[in-house]
């Protein structure tokens, strides 16, 4: 049984006030470059340029035949999208089940059976993912995962795919939502 609280000579101190955070730069949201900048970098590579990335190499392990990496900036800010549980499950499924063209063959009914929920819930989840441009519908039963969110980063296949989807990626940019303070009425 829990002991009742006793009053003591020590009083809890007030939390320190935090300084305001400066607004992000216009061309960068939370460290994520715009899709246009990324596509320009890939275009330079196609014309004989080189893209260098000087991050300390870390060991990693993966299971299966495919290696998918997820954008660090988007992963760190995924909570800001306020995805439903089913939408997050569908997104994780798409990340692990796409082919070399970032295509996922699945109908909403089959996804509903897979996750043990109704097709309506999957339909709403897919709508949420499409509004945020994580995926878009190519045709019935075929969805494209945005390769700027998850794919084999740095691979030749990734560069070729991004260049081939240049117009689609400009039309389907993932923008990290800004989270403001909610005003509460008393």
| Domains along the sequence of the chain with CATH | 70-174 (1.10.10.10)
Q: Write the DSSP assignment of 49-92 as a string of letters.
A: ------PPP------SS---EE-HHHHHTGGGG---HHHHHHHH
Its sign, for the CA torsion 72, 73, 78, 79, is positive
Q: How far apart are the first and last CA of the chain?
A: 35
Residue 66 CB: number of other CB atoms within 10 A? 14
Of 165, 177, 178, give the one whose Cα is nearest residue 135.
165
Q: Alpha-carbon dihedral of residues 91, 97, 98, 100, nearest 10 degrees?
A: 150
Question: What local confidence, expressed as pLDDT, does residue 38 receive?
Answer: 64
Question: What local confidence, expressed as pLDDT, does residue 185 receive?
Answer: 46
Distance (Å, whole) CA 62 – CA 68: 9
Largest distance between two CA atoms of the chain: 73
Residues in the chain with pLDDT values less than 50: 30-32, 51, 54, 57-64, 183-186
For residue 157, how far is the Cα from the chain centroid? 20
Question: What local confidence, expressed as pLDDT, does residue 157 receive?
Answer: 79
Question: What local confidence, expressed as pLDDT, does residue 48 receive?
Answer: 58
Write out pLDDT tens, residues 100-114.
Answer: 889 999 999 999 999
Question: What local confidence, expressed as pLDDT, does residue 75 receive?
Answer: 84
The CB-side HSE value for 12 (13 A sphere, CA atoms) comes to 4
Question: What local confidence, expressed as pLDDT, does residue 6 receive?
Answer: 58
């Amino acid at each position: 049984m829990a002991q009742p609280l006793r009053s003591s000579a020590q009083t809890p101190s007030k939390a320190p006030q935090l300084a305001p955070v400066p607004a992000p730069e216009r061309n960068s949201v939370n460290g994520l470059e715009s899709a246009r900048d990324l596509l320009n970098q890939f275009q330079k590579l196609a014309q004989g340029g080189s893209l260098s990335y000087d991050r300390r190499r870390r060991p990693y392990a993966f299971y299966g035949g495919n290696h998918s990496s997820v954008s660090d900036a988007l992963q760190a800010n995924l909570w800001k999208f306020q995805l439903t549980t089913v939408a997050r499950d569908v997104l994780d499924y798409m990340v692990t089940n796409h082919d070399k063209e970032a295509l996922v063959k699945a109908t909403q009914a089959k996804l509903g059976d897979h996750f043990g929920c109704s097709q309506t819930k999957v339909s709403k989840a897919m709508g949420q993912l499409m509004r945020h441009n994580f995926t878009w519908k190519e045709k019935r039963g075929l969805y494209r995962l945005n390769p700027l969110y998850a794919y084999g980063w740095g691979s030749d296949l990734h560069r070729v795919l991004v260049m081939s989807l240049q117009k689609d990626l400009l039309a389907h940019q993932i923008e990290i939502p800004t989270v403001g303070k909610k005003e509460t009425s008393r």
